[in-house]
């Protein structure tokens, strides 16, 4: 552009070198060959630089000159614009642009917009306006071909949807290590239930003590207890508390042979235990079931049950061994479960039949304890003949 600028400067200086006294001619002169060449060069340069209509409006400082050039596109209008070119100097390129150039620029902008509309950006995440640009989200860009003039945009939309689906599948494959995992099945499989071990709680374990000649812990019910329900009582911390240490408040002392050595066991009776045993002995078939050994339990019960209110005694060898724990399995007693009630301070002891249990707190030495007396009215109600299944009542009320 240095050559063009120098020519414009020469043209401007020659027009300004006229004498002061001479009047400038108002007649428009035709363009000389040199000016025509300059005009053509400026037009070609404007096309190469893709000068847009906004730059044309910004560069014009003489509205009269722009109007003169913008209204017509004839050789006469070009000749009329000649003096304006020589007077504006370096601003001549703006004056030289007409409506024809504006139309060409608008066509180029419209074509560029069409191409931009064919760019489809697909990525997983938020939009560019909310959490950053597409480059930050690993954009997958697909350039779609331009549609013919008469074809609808439905094909372009279908192609964009196809590209989006492919991108979603690719992202899912990346999350799973390149492999699409099958959907989990929630259908019922009877083989899985068949593989689980089913335990019959009524079956005796090897070396488990039971009634002679029977497969139950107790022999069949005698006519003496016909129509009565069966009450299973725990011993330690439920009816009494025992200790090898000397207890000044002990109710009695029993000798126990342990490894050929006799030890004294000091026993304290729970408050109200004598009255409790008298009552339940009249309305129930009473069984004391303890996890203690018989050499300790038998002499203790001989002293405790002076009135013979306890009808059966079961010890550790009659317990059901479950994961190293001594469980009092009511299913092996030999009585209907609907008639069985257990009173125990340890929930682990009746883990198989919690709906048949009456909980009671562990007792050690509290002389103000009245729980045995408080439970007596409940046991009287459960002993009634109109109670068909004690499990259905205890499972709700306790």
Chain segment 34-61, per-residue pLDDT in tens: 667 676 766 666 665 554 444 444 444 4
Question: Within a domain: residue 76?
Answer: yes
Q: Which long-range contacts (CB under 8 A, 24 or more apart) does 269-272 make?
A: 269/239, 269/240, 269/304, 270/238, 270/239, 270/240, 270/241, 270/363, 270/369, 270/372, 271/366, 271/367, 271/368, 271/369, 271/370, 271/372, 271/373, 272/370, 272/372, 272/373
Catalytic-labelled residue, pool 116, 189, 236, 257: 236
Question: Within a domain: residue 336?
Answer: yes
Domains in the chain, number: 2
- Name the CA dihedral angle for 77, 80, 84, 90, rounded to a multiple of 10 degrees: 50
Q: Assess whether 104 and 229 both reside in one domain.
A: no
Q: From 77, 99, 124, give the residue that closes a domain.
A: 124
CA–CA dist 314, 216 (Å, integer): 12
Q: From 124, 149, 176, give the residue that closes a domain.
A: 124
Q: Assess whether 247 and 375 both reside in one domain.
A: yes
What ranges in the chain are assigned the alpha helix state H? 2-16, 33-48, 53-59, 63-71, 75-80, 82-88, 92-95, 99-117, 128-131, 154-175, 190-195, 273-283, 294-304, 371-382, 390-397
Q: Assess whether 236 and 368 both reside in one domain.
A: yes
Q: Assess whether 118 and 266 both reside in one domain.
A: no
Question: Within a domain: residue 158?
Answer: no
Q: Assess whether 257 and 367 both reside in one domain.
A: yes
Q: Assess whether 4 and 120 both reside in one domain.
A: yes
Q: Assess whether 254 and 112 both reside in one domain.
A: no
CA–CA dist 146, 142 (Å, integer): 12
Question: Within a domain: residue 213?
Answer: no
What is the predicted pLDDT for the residue at 212?
95
Question: Within a domain: residue 392?
Answer: yes
Q: From 124, 156, 190, give the residue that closes a domain.
A: 124
Q: Assess whether 278 and 391 both reside in one domain.
A: yes
Question: Within a domain: residue 172?
Answer: no
Domain CATH number, residue 249: 3.40.50.1000
Spans in the chain with pLDDT lower than 70: 1-35, 37, 39, 41-197, 397-398
User: Residue 306: left (phi > 0), alpha (psi -120 to 50), or beta?
Assistant: alpha
Show the domain range for 41: 1-12+30-124
DSSP conformational letter for 220: P
Q: Assess whether 96 and 227 both reside in one domain.
A: no
What is the predicted pLDDT for the residue at 396?
74
Residue 236 annotated to the active site: yes
Catalytic-labelled residue, pool 105, 234, 305, 339: 234
Question: Within a domain: residue 307?
Answer: yes
- β-pair type (320-322, 312-314): unpaired
Question: Within a domain: residue 350?
Answer: yes
Output the pTM of the full model: 0.53
């Amino acid at each position: 552009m240095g050559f063009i600028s120098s020519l414009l400067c020469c043209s401007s200086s020659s027009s300004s070198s006229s004498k002061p006294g001479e009047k400038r001619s108002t007649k428009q002169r035709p363009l000389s060959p040199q000016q025509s060449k300059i005009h053509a060069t400026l037009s070609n340069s404007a096309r190469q630089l893709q000068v847009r209509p906004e730059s044309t409006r910004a560069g014009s400082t003489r509205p009269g000159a722009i109007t003169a050039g913008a209204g017509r596109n004839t050789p006469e209008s070009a000749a009329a614009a000649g003096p304006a070119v020589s007077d504006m100097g370096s601003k001549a390129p703006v004056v030289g642009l007409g409506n024809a150039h504006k139309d060409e620029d608008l066509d180029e902008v419209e074509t560029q917009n069409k191409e931009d509309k064919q760019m489809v950006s697909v990525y997983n995440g938020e939009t560019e306006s909310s959490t950053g640009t597409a480059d930050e989200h690993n954009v997958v860009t697909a350039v779609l071909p331009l549609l013919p003039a008469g074809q609808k945009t439905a094909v372009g939309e279908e192609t964009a949807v196809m590209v989006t689906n492919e991108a979603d599948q690719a992202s899912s494959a990346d999350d799973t290590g390149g492999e699409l995992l099958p959907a989990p099945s929630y259908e019922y499989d009877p083989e899985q239930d068949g593989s689980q071990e089913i335990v019959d709680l009524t079956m005796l374990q090897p070396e488990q003590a039971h009634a002679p000649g029977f497969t139950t812990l107790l022999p069949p019910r005698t006519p003496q207890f016909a129509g009565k329900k069966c009450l299973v009582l725990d011993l330690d911390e439920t009816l009494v508390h025992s200790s090898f240490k000397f207890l000044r408040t002990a109710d009695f002392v029993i000798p126990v042979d342990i490894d050929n050595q006799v030890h004294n066991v000091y026993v304290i009776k729970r408050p109200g235990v004598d009255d409790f045993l008298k009552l339940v002995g009249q309305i129930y078939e009473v069984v004391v079931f303890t996890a203690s050994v018989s050499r300790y339990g038998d002499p203790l019960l001989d002293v405790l049950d002076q009135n013979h209110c306890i009808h059966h005694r079961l010890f550790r060898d009659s317990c059901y061994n479950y994961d190293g724990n001594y469980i009092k399995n009511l299913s092996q007693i030999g009585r209907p479960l609907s008639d069985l009630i257990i009173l125990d301070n340890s929930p682990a002891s009746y883990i198989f039949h919690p709906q048949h249990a009456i909980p009671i707190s562990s007792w050690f030495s509290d002389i103000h304890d009245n729980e045995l007396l408080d439970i007596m009215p409940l046991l009287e109600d459960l002993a009634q003949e109109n109670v068909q299944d004690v499990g259905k009542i205890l499972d709700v009320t306790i």
